[in-house]
């Protein structure tokens, strides 16, 4: 659908950019050529989307530039919201949301501030995002109705996103034919079920002709799915694909399927294996408009994970990689944690294999969008990396800083943010082991919080050592899910990277890392260093005159840094004390451990 005078066009024209739409220019969809000479910027594209992205590029230009052509690496670049229509008693308005309420819904009703939605659409388009799913993947009863009698609300949101070439998707419940349609089954092979989805989907397209499609979390953490009927996930995904196909819609079917009611005594079940075990045998069986959406790591958005082997093992399936900008396990937007260095390393491995990059949004109704003002950089970079995964993460940060702050703030912001992911990793769970967070809200340390739980996330620390043996030789065999060269690299202690050692191996505390340090000394050293680095960040920020960035923003960041400092000390002391008490091995430097 083509808006005749889209809002963005008027605003960009104010900047003096010459836009030429030339369907015969030979550039593909969304691509553009940009040049700047004598202060005049010209953008040429075959379609309006290309002009849009070229216009935002014009705002990033600094001085004259020879002509260059740009096209997106991934055709689909989606921001997914875990927003609830109704406030959920445990998860609130936004599940794992750290930026206030939802941009779309407030206490059961559509937001009264659709202009804010337009601003958000503009913000996302400026980063290259072209799709958004507006509701939580955990689809509760009230939210399920967005597909049917509350569809008008989705249409209103779509009218705002459309101006910026962003297609709207809905998360749907696999049980909708029963809960909304009154059928007694949701079996994907049942003719009535197929007819129900076909009718419901046609109604969606009657109202939203450029609707993107469905996002589905099935047979996962209590959500309904095809397993209940003895069907496969290909059966389930293809059911929805058939309903969407006549309209050009797509299904984003999530691979996040595992047993969340595991017996912690059972050492043979390994959650890391689950997605590969379920999905790789189905390679080639998904319909043409199904995209399998795979979390970037095999567990769940931990600070450090290897790339999911599913992304390396399904050549006959369309794939999306799922990233998480909302900082569920990385400081919840109270801690500075600039994630693109992690995302870039994932994308450097998988970019050529995926056609979509999906990111769980960290934005909400907060005036700074992201709670922590510096968390905006993650939102910005998620879109930019989906467009071009080869961008250098620190140059990207520099771009965001230049567009957002006066030059005088740049050195301090770089000092705080460049290595903030590494710093976060230093003071939290060590060497890729993950999940030492407080159960439930996932904030702050609790080393044994998940150790005897049903969630399948264990570290197996005892008096001699720590880590999960996932080798083929003696462990769960997870390393065998990787193709070479990863399989051998992770299987062998000689070649497994230090930062992932405890993800793949159970080793004694005295095991010597490639760095030359023992595991226990690495734990002590990194935890002292991480907390010290945060203290230095606090001092750097305090020394920046508030007027440079604005008093309110300076104060907001300062208060969050104070919490980050408190929390980093708590992490340091709990982790160091825990491992000192388990191992009985003293810190070689004699620092205070409790
Ligand atoms: C995590 C998160 C949940 C979320 C789930 C998902 O487990 O804690 O809140 O629903 O991921 O991605 O589906």
Model confidence band, residue 158 (pLDDT cutoffs 50, 70, 90):
very high
CB of 296 sitting under 6 A from ligand 1? no
pLDDT digits (tens, 9 = 90+) for 516-562: 999 999 999 999 999 999 999 999 999 999 999 999 999 999 999 99
CB of 96 sitting under 6 A from ligand 1? yes
pLDDT digits (tens, 9 = 90+) for 404-450: 999 999 999 999 999 999 999 999 999 999 999 999 999 999 999 99
Model confidence band, residue 11 (pLDDT cutoffs 50, 70, 90):
low
Q: Which of 153, 328, 365, 525 is catalytic?
A: 328
Alpha carbon 208 to chain centroid, angstroms: 26
Classify the C-alpha dihedral 341-329-546-377 as positive or negative.
positive
* CATH architecture, range 6-70: 2-Layer Sandwich (3.30)
Q: Which of 64, 107, 206, 221 is catalytic?
A: 221
Domain 426-468+506-583 adopts which CATH fold? Alpha-d-glucuronidase, C-terminal Domain (3.90.1330)
Outline where DSSP puts E strands in 448-528: 465-466, 507-508
Residue 339 Cα to ligand 1 middle (Å) = 18
Model confidence band, residue 591 (pLDDT cutoffs 50, 70, 90):
very high
Q: What is the CATH number of domain 76-392?
A: 3.20.20.80
* Residue-level pLDDT at 9: 62
CA 324 to ligand 1: nearest atom: 12
Model confidence band, residue 1 (pLDDT cutoffs 50, 70, 90):
very low
Global pTM? 0.97
Mean pLDDT of 558-573: 98
> Could you state, in order of their start, the residue ranges of all structural domains in the chain?
6-70, 76-392, 426-468+506-583
Model confidence band, residue 39 (pLDDT cutoffs 50, 70, 90):
confident
Asked if 562 and 510 count as a contact pair (C-beta separation under 8 A), the reply is no
Ramachandran angles phi, psi of 432, nearest 5°: 80, 10
- Per-residue pLDDT at 13 exceeds 80: no
- Per-residue pLDDT at 132 exceeds 50: yes
Mutate to test the pocket of ligand 1, among 84, 256, 359 (most ligand atoms within 8 A of CB): 256
User: Does 365 qualify as catalytic in the annotation?
Assistant: no
* Residue-level pLDDT at 12: 57
Mean pLDDT of 322-328: 98
CA distance 449 to 444: 11
User: Does 300 qualify as catalytic in the annotation?
Assistant: yes
Residue 336 Cα to ligand 1 middle (Å) = 21
Upper half-sphere CA count for residue 166 (Cβ side, 13 Å): 33
pLDDT digits (tens, 9 = 90+) for 173-188: 999 999 999 999 999 9
CA distance 79 to 124: 8
* Residue-level pLDDT at 4: 39
What percentage of the chain carries pLDDT values higher than 90?
A: 96
Model confidence band, residue 14 (pLDDT cutoffs 50, 70, 90):
low
Q: Which residue has the tokens 């890391």?
A: 272
Residue 163 Cα to ligand 1 middle (Å) = 31
CB of 256 sitting under 6 A from ligand 1? yes
Mean pLDDT of 290-319: 98
- Answer whether 6-70 and 426-468+506-583 agree in fold: no
* Residue-level pLDDT at 62: 87
CB of 153 sitting under 6 A from ligand 1? no
pLDDT digits (tens, 9 = 90+) for 222-254: 999 999 999 999 999 999 999 999 999 999 999
């Amino acid at each position: 659908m083509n808006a005749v005078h889209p809002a963005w066009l008027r605003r960009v024209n104010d900047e003096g950019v010459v836009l030429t739409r030339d369907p015969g220019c030979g550039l593909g969809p969304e691509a553009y050529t940009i040049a700047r000479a004598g202060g005049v910027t010209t953008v040429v594209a075959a379609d309006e989307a290309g002009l849009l992205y070229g216009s935002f590029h014009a705002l990033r230009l600094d001085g004259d530039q020879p002509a260059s052509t740009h096209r997106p690496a991934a055709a689909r670049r989606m921001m997914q919201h875990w927003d609830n229509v109704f406030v959920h008693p445990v998860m609130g308005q936004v599940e794992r949301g750290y930026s206030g309420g939802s941009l779309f819904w407030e206490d059961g009703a559509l937001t009264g501030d659709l202009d804010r939605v337009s601003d958000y659409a503009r913000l996302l388009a400026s980063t290259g995002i072209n799709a958004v799913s507006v509701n939580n993947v955990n689809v509760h009863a009230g939210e399920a109705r967005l597909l049917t009698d509350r569809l008008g609300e989705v249409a209103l949101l779509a009218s705002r996103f459309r101006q910026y070439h962003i297609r709207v998707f809905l998360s749907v419940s696999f049980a909708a034919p029963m809960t909304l349609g009154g059928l007694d089954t949701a079996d994907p092979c049942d003719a009535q079920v197929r007819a129900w989805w076909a009718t419901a989907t046609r109604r969606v397209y009657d109202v939203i002709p450029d609707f993107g499609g469905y996002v589905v979390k099935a047979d996962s953490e209590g959500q309904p799915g095809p397993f209940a009927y003895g069907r496969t996930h290909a059966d389930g995904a293809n059911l929805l694909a058939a309903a969407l196909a006549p309209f050009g819609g797509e299904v984003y079917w999530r691979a996040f399927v595992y047993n969340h009611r595991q017996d912690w005594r059972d050492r043979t079940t390994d959650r890391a294996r689950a997605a590969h075990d379920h999905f790789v045998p189905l390679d080639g069986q998904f319909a043409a408009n199904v995209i399998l959406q795979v979390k970037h790591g095999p567990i769940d958005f931990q600070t450090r994970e290897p790339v999911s082997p599913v992304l390396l093992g399904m050549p006959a399936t369309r794939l999306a990689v799922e990233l998480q900008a909302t900082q569920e396990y990385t400081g919840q937007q109270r801690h500075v944690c600039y994630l693109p260095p992690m995302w870039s390393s994932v994308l450097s491995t998988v970019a050529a294999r995926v056609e979509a990059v999906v990111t769980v949004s960290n934005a909400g109704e907060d005036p700074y969008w992201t709670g922590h003002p510096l968390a905006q950089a993650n939102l910005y970079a998620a879109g930019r990396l989906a467009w071009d995964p080869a961008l250098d993460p620190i140059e990207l940060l520099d771009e965001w800083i230049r567009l957002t702050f006066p030059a005088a703030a740049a050195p301090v912001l770089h000092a705080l943010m460049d290595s903030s992911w590494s710093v976060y990793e230093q003071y939290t769970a060590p060497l890729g082991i993950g999940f030492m967070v407080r159960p439930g809200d996932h904030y702050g340390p609790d080393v044994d919080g998940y150790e005897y739980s049903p969630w399948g996330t264990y570290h197996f620390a005892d008096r001699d050592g720590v880590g999960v043996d996932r080798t083929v030789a003696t462990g769960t065999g997870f390393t065998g899910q990787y193709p070479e060269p990863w399989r051998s690299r992770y299987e062998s202690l000689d070649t497994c990277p230090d930062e992932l050692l405890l993800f793949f191996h159970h080793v004694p505390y005295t095991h010597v890392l490639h760095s030359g340090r023992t595991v226990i000394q690495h734990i002590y050293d990194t935890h002292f260093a991480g907390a010290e680095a945060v203290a230095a960040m606090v001092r750097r920020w305090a020394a920046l005159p508030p007027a440079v960035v604005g008093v309110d923003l300076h104060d907001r960041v300062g208060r969050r840094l104070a919490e980050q400092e408190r929390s980093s000390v708590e992490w340091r002391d709990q982790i160091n004390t825990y491992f000192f008490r388990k191992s009985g091995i003293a810190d070689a430097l004699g620092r205070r451990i409790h």
